[in-house]
Amino acid sequence: MPSLLAAIGVGAVPALPVEPARAAALLLVDGLGSELLGEHAADAPFLASLPDAGPLTVGFPSSTVVSLASLATGLPPGSHGMVGTSFEVDGTRLDGLNWRAADARPERVQPAPTVFERAEAAGVAVTVVSKREFRGSPLNRAVLRGGEYRGNRAIGDLAAEMITALTAPGRRLVYGYHADLDTMGHVYGPGSLPWRLQLAQVDRLVATVANALPADAVLAVTGDHGMVTMDRPFDVDTVPELRAGVRLLAGDPRSRHVYAESGAAASVLAAWRGVLGTSAVVVPRDQAVAEGWFGPVAAAFAGRIGDVVVAARDGAGVIRSVAEPAISGAVGQHGSLSAREQLVPFLLARI
């Protein structure tokens, strides 16, 4: 997003190769990983025909909450503070997807200015197109602040709202969000027939918007993460060793924050390493921070990272069958460090 903003004349020289334009749009396709797109290019011929300035690395955890915050602020997780799908804030577990504003004020949880706010301050007209039910949600308040919010119901009005905004006069920054490819991956698995048919619909969506672009506008397409099939779950709710000394568990099956009881961090680390073995990378907080898993970590956000941080390997995952039945039963998962989850395309279209 900072590169698109620079392309329309606001901010520094873009880090990504986007030529100058009057109007710029980004379509974020939830779950669009580079490796998956490459393997199924025949289902998305228009996307496959576009020049790819990627792949880009989404960062850790490779989860929607984290990636949306990184995309909208231009900052890594340790700097914007959204360090997982869920994480600890002020002693409580904050669910980034479903939190209530009363739990923690979104503007305090993620205080960095967004690209949209910066664009508005520079006199750029900003349009955010996403699902109607997300309007005013705590997550949107945290990471999509700024601009006019246009709620959509389906692919048709998503495309229409983006085209309308791009073809209006003046400098424009447009953001569109499509969720359904990720949903098909979670329910049926990435690369399944429903997933491939949804990818074909995404391909038509992108072609529709691209073919309506004015000559002085650019459309970028990216994802927030890829996806793997989880076929080797470890269940915290049925394995006592994974609960001993743990006061709070957050994150998602492929990337976990484990918060230990006072004085129990070393024993929790040893227990999780013993149970998971080579199925996950299990490290203490200090090591994850030192190795740059979250990028530079602001002092105010360091405590949001678990005492123990877990990144699943191959098809493994750490589930909670009782406490988190929905996500625990999902076929497709994401959040960890594999290229299949981390790498996303950066496709550019213009007339």
CB neighbours of 154 closer than 8 A, spacing ≥ 6? none
3-state secondary structure 161-186: HHHHHHHCCCCEEEEEEECHHHHHHH
Q: How confident is the model at residue 261 (pLDDT cuts 50, 70, 90)?
A: very high
150: left (phi over 0), alpha (psi -120 to 50) or beta: beta
Rg (CA), the chain: 20
In a domain? residue 266: yes
pLDDT over threshold 70, residue 103: no
Note down the domain range covering 198. 2-75+112-229+338-349
Q: What are the C-alpha distances in Å from 52 to residues 36, 168, 346?
A: 14, 27, 5
Torsion on CA atoms 120, 126, 132, 133, rounded to nearest 10: -30
Same structural domain, 315 and 342? no
Looking at the fold, whether 188 and 154 belong to one and the same domain comes out as: yes
In a domain, 85, yes or no: no
State the average pLDDT for the chain.
Answer: 96
Summarised one tens digit per residue, pLDDT across range 274-323 is: 999 999 999 999 999 999 999 999 999 999 999 999 999 999 999 999 99
pLDDT of residue 102: 62
132 in the same domain as 185:
yes
Residue 249 and residue 219 share a domain: no
pLDDT at 347 over 70: yes
Q: Is 20 helix (H, G, I), strand (E, B) or coil?
A: coil
Domain count, the chain: 2
Domain of 68, CATH number, reads 3.40.720.10
CB contact at 8 A, 143 and 72: yes
Residues 48 and 152 in one domain: yes
Average pLDDT over residues 104-108: 87
Residue 102 maps to a domain? no
pLDDT digits (tens, 9 = 90+) for 32-41: 999 999 999 9
Q: Is the pLDDT of residue 15 over 90?
A: no
Kindly state whether residues 222 and 125 are assigned to the same domain: yes
Q: Are residues 171 and 255 in the same domain?
A: no
Residue 27 domain flag: yes
For residues 195 and 186, give the distance between their C-alpha atoms in angstroms, rounded to a whole number. 9
pLDDT band, very low/low/confident/very high, at 66 (cuts 50, 70, 90): very high
Q: Say what the pLDDT of residue 107 is.
A: 92
Confidence of residue 11 (pLDDT cuts 50, 70, 90): confident
241 and 225 in a common domain: no
Tokens 């002085």 found at:
216
Ramachandran angles phi, psi of 6, nearest 5°:
-65, -35
pLDDT greater than 80 at residue 254? yes
CATH number at residue 237: 3.30.1360.180
pLDDT reported for residue 13:
72
